[in-house]
Structure 1
Amino acid sequence: MLMVGLTGGIGSGKSVVATRLSRLGAVLIDADRIAREVVAPGTEGLAEIVATFGDRVLAADGSLDRPALGALVFDDEPARRQLERITHPRVRARTAQLAAGAPADAIVVNDVPLLVEAGLAPTYHLVVVVTADRATRVDRLVRDRGMSVEQAEQRIRAQTGDPQRRAAADVVLGNDGDLADLHGRVETLWRDRLLPYEHNLRDGVAVRGGTVKLTEADPDWPVQYARLAARIRHAVRPADLRIDHVGSTSVPGLAAKNVIDIQLTVESIDQADKLAGPLGDAGFPRCAGDWWDQPRYPTGDARWEKRLHGSADPARPVNLHLRVGGTPGWRYALLMRDHLRADERQRAGYLALKRGLAAGGPDTASYAAAKEPWFDGEHVEAERWAATTDWRP
């Protein structure tokens, strides 16, 4: 089951995207609708709200007077937190109940207006954010919801900003154009990403690279890493394990294959094996076969053992290396990253090598093997640098 979080600022058109995904076959869970259900007349949720805020939040028919409650909590953060402590656990419980009732091969889209504000992004396999220019949003709120311009501006300011939403987004759908264009992009997302992602997730398939193609350095790579790391951290809890961005995409200015390399520090290979299930459920299935790092130091090891996971998301390849903390392979990954960040000459040499090798269009395995001689010399330079700078991993 693929869990997709859908969010967007008020007036962005998020509901249009939700409706389209539902018609394409998604199981839609509407957080706003659930929020109304859990405080309907006769519920424990409504009783607790009345006990906390008084009868003034009740309408004449005994239902919740939402405008009256909103006026109480809108500019009062402690009151708003009180309300959230009453409603959020109930909404989460009902959401989990509905998701559990969906088919095993479902794509469940959870429409959550305050997904980012509530810190829920890491709980989903993918987060889709719908955006629109501020003027467009204000116009929609005035035209479609009967707000004044001032009211619309106030509601927009009360929510988190677009930069925060974009940082949480795996997919951004701009909604300033016409409806046909938006529908087309939603259908492409469904066909090219969500359907294959769900299939890979269900079958435990990790996306693996084919022919090597270098991508120019992308300043968004660290942001993408942060999203992935948050999902990994959520998947392995309650364990609190170190997670690092390693590999070429972690080095600013360095062209690389568009694959995010992540190192998850484990206490033992046995712990790594026990995490295979939770990581697979979170969208990071274990790669089949045995995996290890080529020893660079005279440690006496034939190979540096590790576990390797990938990503089930067809649009975001990942190499997730599970290495035991303090071992040579673990240390080497951090040393190489930090040395290349610090040494412009070595970074330029590595980039020239990568460009030359990639020009021949090799497959991933051949490309990696061809770089081995360079690494044999680089690790000597890196150790000298570490000694002179008192580097620690």
Structure 2
Amino acid sequence: MLRVGLSGGIGSGKSTVARRLVERGAVLVDADQLAREVVRPGTDGLAALVERFGAGILDADGALDRAALAARAFADDGARADLNAITHPRIGALTAQRMAEAPADAIVVHDIPLLVEAGYAANYHLVVIVDAPVPARLRRLADRGVAEPDALARIRAQATDEQRAEAADVLLDNSGPVEELAARVDELWSDRLVPFERDVRDRRPAGQPSRPVPPDPTWPRQARRLAARLSRAAGERAVRVDHTGPTAVPGLAAADVLDLQVAVRSADDVAALADPLAEAGFPVVRPGSDEHRSADPGRPATACVRVVDSPEWWAALLLPAWLSADAAARDEFRAVRRDEQERWSAAALPRAREWAERTGWRP
């Protein structure tokens, strides 16, 4: 199963993307729909709301009057916290139930408006954000009868474009005709989501490029997303997760493969993480290895699980720090072929250690 988080600002076209993905075969879990289900008449969720906020939040038929609830629940921070304490656990439990009910080979799309705001990005194999310029969003909201001042207030209350970009593995531009958006969604489905799901299920790493490319200023951002997923998957066994390798060195051309290192306390932890990391999209390259590779064909990456303070752990952190600080060493590295980089790094390690001793560098 592949878990995809889908989000976007109000008026961005997120629902249009969700419908297209369902047409292609995705299983949709709609957070807004689940939020309504947990407070339907007869549910313990609605009973808890009435107990906290009073019978005045019900309409004449005994259903939830959302406007009346909003007037009471958003009156102060305490009331809003009580509302969230009642609804969020129930929505979370129903979300988990719906995902568990999906077939083993499903691509499950979780349509959740506040994915970024709630910090949920690390829960998914992939996060898709739908984006559109504010004027286009305002026009769409106006077509729904939302006045511009109210629309702007809602937009400003949500995550910023930068915050969404930080969370997005895929950023879908919905500034043009709907046909263009549909074509991009179809391409995403066939070229990335379908093979990603298959390889996660089969625990098979995706291929990795070997040719160097110009430095990408977004590599650190992309590495942070993957590190958060690895940390979530590893749980308490992970001491830390670091971006390592050539892509961690600013301004250095490298193969477009993100290297990460998951630090653990013991060799037992290395073995114990084989299954959790595979389920998170990083299958082990071979049984017994500490090296995991991403199953995502759209984002090549490697994650090595190493014991804290081991020579390998130390070297993986030291080398990019040294290369970042030493221009001459970077020039040497640039001249080395990718298949020779590991040998060069091993030979250069004494020089990196001397630099660490001289400068007082520590992980």
Normalized against structure 2, the TM-score is what? 0.96
Residues 213-254 of structure 1 deviation map (CA, whole Å, 9 limit, x = unaligned): 111111111111111111111111133421111001111111
How do 1:1-393 and structure 2 match up within 5 A? 1-74=1-74, 76-144=76-144, 146-209=145-208, 212-288=210-286, 307-351=290-334, 353-354=335-336, 357=337, 367-368=338-339, 370-371=340-341, 374-393=344-363
Unmatched tracts of structure 2, length 5 or more: none
For the aligned residue pairs, the C-alpha RMSD in angstroms reads 1.5
CA distance in 2, matches of 1:158, 1:183: 28
Give the 3-state SS of the residue equivalent to 2:237 in structure 1.
coil
Q: CA deviation at 1:377?
A: 4.3
Residues 105-160 of structure 1 deviation map (CA, whole Å, 9 limit, x = unaligned): 0101111111111111111111101111111111111112x111111111111211
Q: CA deviation at 1:72?
A: 3.5
Amino acid paired to 2:153: Q
Q: Residues 199 and 14 (structure 1 numbering): CA distance in 2 closer, same or farther, change over 3 Å?
A: same
Unmatched tracts of structure 1, length 5 or more: 292-306, 358-366
Determine what percentage of the aligned residue pairs are the same residue. 50
Amino acid paired to 1:185: R
Q: Residues 283 and 335 (structure 1 numbering): CA distance in 2 closer, same or farther, change over 3 Å?
A: same
CA distance in 2, matches of 1:65, 1:289: 56
CA distance in 2, matches of 1:270, 1:311: 22
Give the 3-state SS of the residue equivalent to 2:243 in structure 1.
strand
Amino acid paired to 2:206: V
CA distance in 1, matches of 2:288, 2:142: 60
Indicate conservation of the 8 Å contact 2:237/2:269, yes or no: no
Indicate conservation of the 8 Å contact 2:204/2:283, yes or no: yes
Q: CA deviation at 1:74?
A: 4.4
Give the 3-state SS of the residue equivalent to 1:5 in structure 2.
strand
Q: CA deviation at 1:372?
A: 5.0
CA distance in 1, matches of 2:275, 2:287: 16
Give the 3-state SS of the residue equivalent to 1:129 in structure 2.
strand
Q: How many residues align?
A: 363
CA distance in 1, matches of 2:329, 2:268: 36
Normalized against structure 1, the TM-score is what? 0.89
CA distance in 2, matches of 1:280, 1:383: 34
Q: Residues 40 and 385 (structure 1 numbering): CA distance in 2 closer, same or farther, change over 3 Å?
A: same
Q: Residues 238 and 332 (structure 1 numbering): CA distance in 2 closer, same or farther, change over 3 Å?
A: closer
Q: CA deviation at 1:68?
A: 2.3
CA distance in 2, matches of 1:276, 1:73: 45
CA distance in 2, matches of 1:82, 1:220: 39
